[in-house]
Amino acid sequence: MIDKKHIGKVIADFRTSAPASQLRFFAKATGETRAIYTNEAAARDAGHRGLPLPPTFLFSLELVNPPSGWREELGIRTERILHGEQSFTYHRMAYAGDVLHFRTTITDIYDKRNGALDFVVRETRVTNQDNEHVADLRGVLVQRNG
């Protein structure tokens, strides 16, 4: 079993932003056709202060500066991991050009099936340049043991 002493450990802490060009590219790549995600005038007409980030774009930004070394430190073997689950809780809109702060913490470690599976829960709090809470990203990594 992965040692629970790692619960509470911060594994990533960085700031980044998304230029409008990245948002337009993401919208096109994901088939998003609503003009508020590609056209600044349409976004403003809809009451936004600029191009809003599409709902799952925060996950893409989280990958800009992925945490390194934490899996090895916990004894996780990359060849034995699975993606368990992922969820997003949104608190306010983020927009092109916002400076977003990502802070990822290990919030739980547990096992199932008598230790055959280890679970590591990571939660990322995202705030903007005004320290307003934008979103919480949650991911669960599963390691198969044995």
pLDDT per position as a tens digit, 130-142: 999 999 999 999 9
Residue 3: is it exposed, middle or buried by C-beta count within 10 angstroms (0-12/13-18/19+)? exposed
Residue 45 lies in a domain: no
Predicted pLDDT at 34: 95
Helices marked H in the chain — which ranges? 20-29, 40-45, 57-62, 70-74
**Is 44 among the domain residues?**
no
Query: How far apart are the C-alpha atoms of 104 and 67, rounded to whole Å?
Result: 8
What tens digit of pLDDT does each residue of 29-80 get? 999 999 999 999 999 999 999 999 998 899 989 887 777 788 888 889 889 9
Cα–Cα nearest to 88, from 48, 46, 54: 54
Report the amino acid identity of residue 34.
R
**pTM, entire model:** 0.90
Number of domains in the chain: 1
pLDDT at position 96 is: 97
Q: Residue 1's pLDDT is what?
A: 84
What CATH number corresponds to the domain at position 73?
3.10.129.10
In a domain, 41, yes or no: no
Residue the block writes with tokens 């669960």: 140
In a domain, 135, yes or no: yes
